Amino acid sequence: MSPSSGTSDSDAPRPARASWEPRDPTLPGPKPPPAPKRRRPRRVLRTLLGLLLLGTLLLAGALVAGYLLVEIPPANASAVAQSNVYLYRDGSPLARDGEVNRENVPLDRVPLTVRQAVLAAEDRDFHTSRAVDPKAMLRAAWNTVTGKGRQSGSTITQQYVKNYYLGQEQTLTRKAKEFFIAIRLGREKSKEEILQGYLNTSYFGRNAYGLQAAARAYYGKDVDGLDTAEGAYLASLLKAPSAYDVTTHPENRAKAVARWNYVLDGMVTEGWLTPADRAAARFPAPQTARSATGLSGQRGYLVQAVEEYLTSHGIVDEKTLAGGGFRITTTIEPATQEALVQAVEERVTSRLDPARSPADRYVRVGAAAIDPATGKVLAMYGGIDYTQQYVNNATRRDYQVGSTFKPFVFTAAVQSGAQTQYGEPITPYTVYDGDNRRPVQGWNGAPYDPANEDDESYGEIAVGAATDLSVNAVYAQMAVDVGPGHVRRTAIALGLPGTTPDLTASPSIALGPATASVLDMATAYATLAAHGRHGTYTLVARVSKDGRELAPPAPVTRQAVSREAADTTTSILRSVVEAGTGTAAQAAGRPAAGKTGTAEDDKAAWFAGYTPELATVVALMGQDPESGRQEPLYGALGLPRVNGGGPPAEIWADFTRQALAGTAPRDFELQLMPGAEEMPEVPPTPEGSQDDWYDTGEAGPGAAVSRSPLPPRTPVRGQ
């Protein structure tokens, strides 16, 4: 084709291409498309996020529903509390506790620093925080579950809701209601209204509900007269009303003062109190409490002891009990109680004459009697009158028990099979060195050389005679021979609380520096009387409210020490009554065992004793009625010195004789340790052979001495 034609080979039409080409069977086929990637983790994550969102929505819905459904209820029944009725063991009336003591006051009557003290104690962020604190609640729940102590995590608003609208029961339902009511209350009422309600409903002890009642109960003034220090002490009581009442429980004074300091320091931290005012503050000791109507005489002491028993054993909490409505049958026997009161009146109260003897102002009496077979407290003497002396002398733990502790040392010796420093078994006939100020041997601690009473030296003396005469040098050495730690454990096994102040494992433990209560000591001596079987004492037989019975703890008894250990101790304590320092107890007119005791500086005198049927401990204590300071009893009751063998033993004898009148005397049925059997009488000692004989101490000073042959042994001097 010529160029002039305007065409070329490239412009010529091409045959159409087929839409597919036949596959050459000799070639491999096309590769399949890649499989999609697995996306399971992403799917799981989306599922979890969906569940979390759903849970959040459900929780939010529950919170909204709870808020809408839970209304603020009317005040609960405890806002108008009932009386508690107390009965003797036979069902006859003992006492009726009065209505709850409450007087509402407006917030503007409460001094600002007193309000701030309460906030420093309970909720320092009250004015800026919400009605509920979920973080605090979770933290408290976690601490409770992990054993760091039960904590509420509640704000003041929640506490007010619990006090006024709900109750004290620890249930999830109550906590849920408290949560929603607190939220609604926080929206509907001002902080001032909530704080006012809280201050008027909180319990401060002494049956005082509200700050006004507390001001009257503790300081005898209206709330608007409280100063900062007094307000801080009342705020401290909110944590533990009874425990921090330093007049009822003087042994807890250190804890109460520490709590008071915590409140004041918190006020300084928050800027509510200047450091200078803080430094000038002094602990404001409260006044002696005044009892409610109907609790005069011994009734108030008995009610107080019963209330402490109920709360300490978890039968009912303190605030619920104070709300009233309980019917409580005690173990106190009317006739036995009256016999104890009469014995104290006859031997002590009627003889007090402060005009003649100023020391008579200091005399206080405490006593308690227990049935060894059951552990039931049958009688208790707490003081001259609950309306005049509020502190219960039978339950207080701030006076030394003195030599009434010594039998526990001997019991521990027999129980453990202890030996002297020379490897000889300790029995009633083992001889010790009783010289005054003799240093104890075998003790790795600080040197210890106790003085005997009146600095008397006794030379070689058998354990039985040393018990009759209460020789300190002998028992301090015996405590080392036994092991002070074992002595302490034995005392606790017999019935003394492990928390007893000054119950320290050292040689001095034998001399009784421990400050156990009269009731504690009666429990321990009842264990000896019961042949070593110990049962926790009980003051309550039945408790009911609105016809519903509340079960007291079932009595649990155990063999605290062996029968041989308890009975051998009884054998040497019988000698104390027959020929030692406790001969005044013979006036009971029946077989008896007992021990006298005197506290340091003669500030207390004790007699602890028992028959097979009844264990009773009596103590005279010296205390200044104005300052509360412990005072010696020199010159009281017209006596140069008051010791356990005097008025305490006389009260014991009079009471035991009356309490057991009409019952035939019973002798002790004793199973003694080997070597403790009573040795036979022998002819008088031949002249010139005194070294072959020794005094068993069965007779006592000034009486005819019965001598028994000493088994072949090396004299134990210097043990």
What is the average per-residue pLDDT within 65-80? 54
Residue 201 has pLDDT above 80, yes or no: yes
The per-residue pLDDT for 28 is 62
Question: How far apart, in whole angstroms, are the C-alpha atoms of residue 525 and residue 609?
Answer: 7
Q: In the prediction, which pLDDT does 683 show?
A: 43
Cα(313)–Cα(328) distance, integer angstroms: 15
Query: pLDDT category, 24, cuts 50, 70, 90?
Result: low
- Residue 400, both tokens: 């030394």
Mean pLDDT of 134-143: 54
**pLDDT more than 90, % of the chain:** 60
pLDDT (average), residues 53-74? 55
Is the pLDDT at 158 greater than 90? The verdict is no
pLDDT of residue 81: 54
pTM: 0.73
Q: What is the pLDDT of residues 297-345, one digit of tens each?
A: 999 999 999 999 999 988 999 888 887 888 899 999 999 999 999 999 9
Is the pLDDT assigned to residue 6 strictly greater than 50? no
Q: Residue 619: pLDDT above 90?
A: yes
Average pLDDT (623-634) is 94
Q: DSSP string of 694-710?
A: EE-SSS-TTSPPPEEEP
Q: In this predicted model, what pLDDT tens digit does every residue of 222-242 receive, in sequence order?
A: 899 999 999 999 999 998 888
> What strands lie across the sheet with 615-622, from one edge to the other?
377-381, 363-370, 615-622, 604-610, 593-598
Q: How confident is the model at residue 29 (pLDDT cuts 50, 70, 90)?
A: low
Range list of H helices, 271-333: 275-280, 299-312, 318-323
5 pLDDT tier (thresholds 50, 70, 90) = very low
pLDDT at residue 369 greater than cutoff 90: yes
684-713 mean pLDDT: 33
Q: Would you place residue 430 in the very low, low, confident or very high pLDDT band (cuts 50, 70, 90)? A: very high
Residue 506 or residue 151, greater confidence:
506
Q: Please classify residue 255 by burial: count the beta carbons closer than 10 Å to its beta carbon, then call 0-12 exposed, 13-18 middle and 19+ buried.
A: middle
Separation between Cα atoms, residue 430 and residue 5, nearest integer Å: 154
Average pLDDT of the residues in 55-82: 55
Q: What is the mean pLDDT of the chain?
A: 83
Mean pLDDT for the stretch of residues 549-564 = 88
Q: What pLDDT was estimated at residue 157?
A: 76
**Distance of alpha carbon 635 from alpha carbon 358, whole angstroms:** 8
> What pLDDT is stored for residue 367 in this prediction?
98
Task: Taking residues 286-291, report their average pLDDT.
Answer: 77
Cβ(378)–Cβ(370) below 8 Å: yes
Task: Supply angle C-alpha 581, 582, 586, rounded to 5.
Answer: 140
- Beta carbons within 8 Å of 265's beta carbon, 6+ residues apart: 278
Average pLDDT over residues 541-545: 91
Q: Give the lowest-confidence range in 178-182, 296-300, 549-553.
A: 178-182
What CA–CA distance (Å, rounded) separates 451 from 601?
Answer: 13
pLDDT of residue 434: 97
Q: Contact at 8 Å (CB) between 459 and 433?
A: yes
The two three-digit tokens of residue 259, written as one number? 């709590």
pLDDT at 605 over 50: yes
Q: Residues 244-278: pLDDT tens digits?
A: 999 988 999 999 999 999 999 999 999 999 999 99
Q: pLDDT tens-digit profile of 84-116?
A: 889 999 999 899 886 667 778 899 999 999 999
For residue 359, what are the CA distances in angstroms to 249, 354, 401, 646? 24, 7, 21, 16
Greater model confidence, 14 or 355: 355
Q: 442: alpha, beta or left, given left = phi > 0 and alpha = psi -120 to 50?
A: left
pLDDT at 189: 81
Answer whether residue 9 shows pLDDT above 60: no
Tell me the mean pLDDT in the region 372-396. Answer: 95
Q: What is the pLDDT of residue 671?
A: 95
Distance of CA 302 to the CA centre of its chain: 17
For range 395-399, the mean pLDDT: 97
Structure tokens that stand for 386 in this block:
């609950």
Question: What percent of the chain stands above pLDDT 70?
Answer: 76
